[in-house]
Amino acid sequence: MRNRSLSQREMLLTVFREGRNMDEVLNRPIDTEYYQAFVNLRLLLKVFEEMGCPFSPDDAVLDFGCGEGKMVYALRKLGYHAFGTDIVRPEVSVKRRIRRECLCRGGERPFAIIDKHRYRIPFDDNFFDFVFSWEVMEHVQNHAQALCEIRRVLKPGGKSLHYFPARYRILEPHIGVPFAALIQGYGYLYLWALAGLRDSSQQGMPAREVARKNYEYLHSETRYLTKKQLLQVAGGCFERVEFVERHVWKHNTGTSGAIYRLLSKLGLAGFVPMAARLLSPFGRRAVFCVKESAGVPLLCCADFR
C-alpha cells in the first residue's frame, strides 16, 4: 500500500510539473471544485519553488483561511503534511473524503477552528514550515494580529505566501462592482445597482437592497490595504517581505500568464518584473514573508490603521 501511494504521488507531481490533465492519474475524474483546488495548488507550489523553497513530504503546511478545505485535501492527496484553519468549519464532505482516502497520519485532525474572540491560530508555536493563504487577506480585519499569529506558528526559517485581490483591482471580485475595493460609499454602490449590476443571488432585488447588502458586505467582510500599508504591517512581523507577482505570472493560466507568455515569445521576458509591478496593483497581489529568527514580532498585535 505504501509503494502504491508513493507511486501515485510521484505521478501527480509529474503532472504538476508538466501541466498535464490531472484526471490521467487519479482514480476518477475530479469534479470542478476539486479540480480548481489542484490548479490553484499547482501555482502555489511553483511560486514556492521559484523562491527556492519547495515543499517536502515531511514539511508541515498550513492553509490559513482554508474555507471548505479543498486545498488541504489536494495537498494531502499529493502526500504533503497539510492542515487548515479558518473561523468557519470546513465542508463535511471534504473531511469525509480525507478520511475515506486514508490521507491522515495516525489520529491527527487536519482542520482546526480559529476562535474569533481570542483570535489565536489553534496550533503550537514554531509548528509549521510553510503557511499560505489563497484569496483570504482581503477579508482579514486586523492584519497585524493575523500576521503575528502566522509568524508565531511558523518555525524559524519558515516561509509564508499570501495571494489575494489588490486594492485597485478593476472589478471587486466578491460583489462585481468596478473599483468597489477602493470606493465603498453607499451612493456609489447604489448607482451601479440602478444600472442593473447584480450578482446571481441579487437578481430581482430592488436597487436600494442590492446597494445596502453590498455596502454591508464590503464594510464587514473586506479590508483592502495599500502596498505601503502591507509592507508596513508585514515588515513589522517578518524580517523579510517581498512582493512576488512576477513569479505568479510565470505559472498563471489567466491574464497575467498570457502577458508573461506573450512577452517571452517576443523576446521581452526581461520586462516581466516591470510589467508585474505596474499591473499587479490592478489585479492580484502575492506577498512572500520569511521568519528568520525565533524572536518576538517587531510589531505588537494591535489593530493596524
Q: Are 68 and 90 in contact (CB under 8 A)?
A: yes
Walk me through the domains of the chain, giving residue ranges and CATH numbers. Answer: 31-167+225-290 (3.40.50.150), 186-221 (no CATH)
Q: Is the pLDDT of residue 156 over 80?
A: yes
Q: Is the pLDDT of residue 305 over 60?
A: no
Query: In sequence order, what are the beta bridge partners of 132?
Result: 63, 161
| Global pTM value | 0.88
Q: Is the pLDDT of residue 304 over 60?
A: no
Q: Is the pLDDT of residue 9 over 90?
A: no
* Per-residue model confidence (pLDDT) at position 141: 94
Distance CA 33, CA 93 (A): 12
Which distant-in-sequence residues (6+ apart) come within 8 Å of 59 by Cβ?
80, 81, 129, 130
Q: Is the pLDDT of residue 53 over 60?
A: yes
Q: Is the pLDDT of residue 259 over 70?
A: yes
- Residues 64-74: tens digit of each pLDDT: 999 999 999 99
* Per-residue model confidence (pLDDT) at position 223: 97
* Span 119-144, average pLDDT: 96
**Which amino acid is it at 225?**
L
* Per-residue model confidence (pLDDT) at position 118: 86
